[in-house]
């Protein structure tokens, strides 16, 4: 067993250990609106559930050399965003939105994704996702970094779910039909794979 003190590592070294160890990670495709009305879209794999009562989810948006990403800046300003689940059908287009564009250009347009109006917030989602969640900002924290924050930790409250009828039955989502993909390290992704069941102890 190799033992490593993260303090002796570079940020990049720790990043590689984390993304190689904590797998698979679900991917959120997030849309947000700039103050100029540009529809921003970007994928994030530091993403998970926070609570079901009320329904809340989290995003950790890493900063590049201390600079806040467009998504974080937009969410903090507008207090709204939409989270989509990335699946086998849309992963190629979502990957295209990871390109570094200036704030006045839309990744949604670049990837030829189709905007879909939201019901309770002003930020549109995209039609290509089987699941999307309209969110309002609940909490935001600046975390990490001895000199300046390393990330923006966002907690959003889900105010509306949109789910494709083909994957929904009796209040449950069919994981095989959703066909969500997850993030590994480097350029690698994973599909759901074999599903098995283990009964939880009482």
The alpha carbon of residue 70 and the mean position of all alpha carbons in its chain are separated, in whole angstroms, by 14
pLDDT for residue 100: 85
Task: Give just the sign of the alpha carbon dihedral 28, 29, 33, 34.
Answer: positive
pLDDT for residue 105: 92
pLDDT tens digits along 111-147: 999 999 999 999 999 999 999 999 999 999 999 866 7
181/202 Cα distance (integer angstroms): 31
pLDDT for residue 145: 67
Give every residue of the chain whose pLDDT is below 70, as ranges: 145-146
């Amino acid at each position: 067993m190799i033992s490593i003190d993260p303090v002796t590592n570079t940020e990049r070294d720790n990043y590689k250990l984390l993304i190689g160890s904590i797998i698979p990670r679900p991917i959120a495709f997030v849309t947000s609106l700039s103050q100029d009305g540009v529809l921003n879209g970007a994928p994030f794999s530091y993403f998970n559930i926070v609570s079901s009562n009320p329904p809340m989810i989290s995003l950790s948006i890493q900063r590049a050399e201390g600079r806040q990403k467009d998504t974080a800046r937009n969410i903090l300003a507008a207090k709204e965003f939409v989270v989509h689940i990335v699946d086998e059908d849309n992963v190629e287009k979502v990957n295209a939105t990871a390109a570094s564009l200036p704030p006045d250009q839309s990744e949604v347009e670049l990837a030829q994704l189709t905007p879909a109006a939201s019901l309770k917030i002003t930020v549109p989602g995209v039609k290509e996702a089987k699941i999307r969640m309209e969110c309002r900002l609940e909490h935001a924290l600046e975390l990490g970094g001895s000199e300046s924050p390393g990330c923006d930790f966002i907690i959003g409250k889900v105010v509306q779910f949109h789910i494709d009828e083909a994957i929904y039955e009796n209040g449950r989502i069919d994981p095989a039909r959703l066909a969500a993909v997850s993030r590994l390290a480097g350029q690698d992704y994973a599909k759901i794979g074999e599903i098995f069941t283990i009964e939880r102890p009482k």
